[in-house]
Structure 1
Amino acid sequence: MRAVLYDGFGRQPEVRDVADPEPPRAGAVIRVEASGLCRSDWHGWMGHDPDIRKFPHVPGHELAGVVEAVGGDVTRWRPGDRVTTPFICACGRCPACAAGDAQVCESQTQPGFTHWGSFAEYVAIEHADVNLVRLPGSMPFPTAAGLGCRFSTAFRAVVSQGRAAAGEWVAVYGCGGVGLSAVMIAAACGARVVAVDVSPAALELAADFGAAETVLTESSPGTAAPGTTAPHGGGTRPAGTADPAERVREVTGGGAHLTVDALGSAATCGAAIESLRRRGRHVQIGLLPRAAGHPAVPMDRVIGLELEILGSHGMAAHAYPPMLAMIADGALRPERLVTRTIGLGETPDALAAMGTMGTPGVTMILPGLP
């Protein structure tokens, strides 16, 4: 098969011909029809993920495709089934899985991190009966691929962990793929969304996806730099301050009920917490790699305002039905997040470029393209 590989952290990836994978005894091989290019893949390439230990390595963890082969212990799936999978592949046996918390499985595997991933024509998935999700026949593969990481992660963060409710203010920091997903999902829940980002183009998408307010800030939230706040209905007004937390508190009349850091930096994490009103809730989605050091959390504010700080790490396969139902009835439209499609040949340069601000929305890799 053709696959994108790199031979060391930060080394230029390239497309090569390598051996096709074999299905694990309890797993399956998926013919990849679409795979999302995610910032988590960039973190892995940069050496920020301790699970990547052997080279050469194939990244990619956000995928959809067709079952090509299954192991002898698989009972629920057969070749030809259209599927996706969470990026957290659970074992189905540990105490966390038994409690229904497969997204924090104690023996989890992750394609693109613990083993070769989906920037390839085929990928092997462990424990297929636990981890595969059947796709509706009408759902395009590029739409489905985004469900495995960014969209499902945002869904659980906003709906289950964040408990977003109609009429509440939700501030989303970072409007990449997961942030735009969070904007769309929170708006579908009836919340009023404030989107915060450094990119005017990303904020335009956020407004299209339901953000009531947008806050433009510089690359270091909290610094004294200019920004503007634009109501969704059009028009602008002076920002007054570059501090996005102050702007969020202003436009929400005292602070958001729920904040989501969908980027993952010390600056965005801190600013999101500073944006909360009393007894507000913060959900951290964006990765905060150990290599960057631990962020300074304003614990005085957490204590004084009785804030909740929550993490969110993907979503288990068994939890997909409510999300799929909202997609089926049109309340959620994840296909709108896909703004670019590329082939494997373009993927090495696209992965390397993810460290800088690029195309807003989600880039999908179609292995069938050159």
Structure 2
Amino acid sequence: MKAAVLESYNHFVWKDVETPKVKPDEVLVRIQFASICGTDMHIFPGDFHPRSPVPFIPGHEMGGVVAEVGNGVSGFNPGDKVAVDPIIWCGECPACKRKHYPACTSLKLLGVDMNGGFAEYISVPPHMLFKTAPHIPDQHVALVEIYGIGFHANNRAQTAEGDIIAIWGAGRVGQVILQAARTKTTGTIFMVDPLENRLQIAVGNYDNVIPVNPKKENPVEVIRKHTGGKGVDIAFEAVGHAEEIEGVNTPVRSCIQSLRGGGKVCVLGLGDEPAPIVFKELIWKEGQIITSRVSDGEFTEVIDHLNAGNLKPDALISKVMPGSETQQAFELLQKEKGKYLKVLLDFS
């Protein structure tokens, strides 16, 4: 089979590799599309070394069709359209024993810790596969994993009907938080991002979304104005590596300042820099800070909404490129990262 192999950091090679042999307890999936994630963009230059050693095949957001079913596997047939959940829990650590799987201390992912989906085929155990309806476009199936992150964040924050929400960061993760939130609340959603094109994606696809560019106006002041000084029920931080903007506090502190009394901040951003906050601002409101990592069974929830037409995956897809051009795709995202949301790789 053909695969995009990261032979050395910053260097993909499109080459022939051995097609996985299907074990009795596995399913061979013919990958149709895989999506480039922010994590992949860090793996590419070596930021994840030694966790992601080269050479290997990245790719943890993927979808395809069942090509072959191992002996003893039931519930899947060749031709079934499936999304692949890349997460592998250890099952033995204290978090896993409490069934809090995203907090697994030995969590691993296909395409991060081992070969993944930037290839024509992958063989995985059946519990990592989730069927989608036949009418769902193959490109959309590759987005189930990132949608799972958005739904998991909303489930961690317990988003409910009527909740007013603010989302710092209108990139890939911020957009799926928005789309997931819209299946749970019709309340106002504030989107905060210095990139106008990302804000326009949000307001162009959903009603009752207020865009806020922190380079033009203070997000906390805008939120207080529109909520009569009360603030939001939930504020999500999906920025990660934040750009310093004069006169505007860090995203996490701004999230706290935007809360109503008793509100929640849900932090997803994986920035390496310290994020200064003033805890008395949180204590006065008796607010909560929670975190969210990967997903935890939300694939089924995502697929139900995709099947019902409740999500807008085309709003996330900026460009589709053949798998043979994986190197060019990564270089494009490095040079113009603010221009694109999801770039899909076509392995069909």
What range is the shorter-chain TM-score in?
0.7 to 0.9
Is the Cα contact below 8 Å between 2:73 and 2:126 reproduced in 1?
yes
Change in 2 beyond 3 A, CA 1:87/1:273: farther
CA distance in 2, matches of 1:363, 1:252: 36
Q: 1:177 aligned to 2:172?
A: yes
Which residue does the alignment assign to 1:8?
8
CA distance in 1, matches of 2:171, 2:344: 13
Is the Cα contact below 8 Å between 1:88 and 1:316 reproduced in 2?
no
CA distance in 1, matches of 2:285, 2:306: 36
1:187-202 alignment to 2 at 5 Å? Answer: 187-189=182-184, 190-202=186-198
SS at match of 2:143: helix
CA positional deviation for 1:33: 0.3
Is the Cα contact below 8 Å between 1:172 and 1:194 reproduced in 2?
yes
Q: 1:136 aligned to 2:133?
A: yes
Is the Cα contact below 8 Å between 2:132 and 2:307 reproduced in 1?
no
* Among 320, 339, 348, the residue aligned to 1:359: 339
- Structure 2: which amino acid aligns with 1:259? A
CA positional deviation for 1:139: 0.8
Is the deviation greater in 11-20 or in 61-70?
Answer: 11-20
TM norm structure 2: 0.85
Q: 1:114 aligned to 2:113?
A: yes
Is the deviation greater in 253-262 or in 355-364?
Answer: 355-364
- Structure 2: which amino acid aligns with 1:366? D
- Structure 1: which amino acid aligns with 2:142? A
Which residue does the alignment assign to 2:42?
43
How large is the RMSD of aligned CA atoms in angstroms? 2.6
1:248-267 alignment to 2 at 5 Å? Answer: 248-254=223-229, 255-265=231-241, 267=250
Is the Cα contact below 8 Å between 1:342 and 1:366 reproduced in 2?
yes
Is the Cα contact below 8 Å between 1:111 and 1:117 reproduced in 2?
yes
CA positional deviation for 1:99: 4.8
CA positional deviation for 1:36: 0.9
CA distance in 1, matches of 2:92, 2:314: 34
Is the Cα contact below 8 Å between 1:42 and 1:352 reproduced in 2?
no
Is the Cα contact below 8 Å between 1:265 and 1:295 reproduced in 2?
no
Deviations 1:278-336 (A, max 9, x none): 22111122323xxx34433433322232221112122234x433333333333323343
Is the Cα contact below 8 Å between 1:169 and 1:191 reproduced in 2?
yes
Q: 1:154 aligned to 2:130?
A: no
* Among 279, 289, 301, the residue aligned to 2:281: 301
Is the Cα contact below 8 Å between 2:7 and 2:13 reproduced in 1?
no
CA positional deviation for 1:366: 1.0
Which residue does the alignment assign to 1:340?
319
Which residue does the alignment assign to 1:21?
20
SS at match of 1:339: strand
CA positional deviation for 1:64: 0.4
Gaps of 5+ in 2: 243-249
Is the Cα contact below 8 Å between 1:164 and 1:191 reproduced in 2?
no
CA distance in 1, matches of 2:106, 2:273: 26
CA positional deviation for 1:71: 4.7
Figure out how many residues of one structure are paired with residues of the other and give that number: 337
SS at match of 2:175: helix
CA distance in 1, matches of 2:224, 2:40: 33
CA distance in 1, matches of 2:51, 2:324: 23
CA positional deviation for 1:95: 6.3
SS at match of 2:7: coil
Gaps of 5+ in 1: 218-225, 228-238
- Deviation beyond 4 Å, 4+ runs, structure 1: 70-73, 91-100
Which residue does the alignment assign to 1:206?
202
CA positional deviation for 1:65: 0.4
CA distance in 2, matches of 1:208, 1:305: 33
CA distance in 1, matches of 2:275, 2:282: 14
Which residue does the alignment assign to 2:245?
none
CA positional deviation for 1:51: 6.4
Is the Cα contact below 8 Å between 1:62 and 1:87 reproduced in 2?
yes
TM norm structure 1: 0.81
- Structure 2: which amino acid aligns with 1:253? G
1:70-81 alignment to 2 at 5 Å? Answer: 70-72=69-71, 74-81=73-80
Give aligned-pair identity as a percent: 26
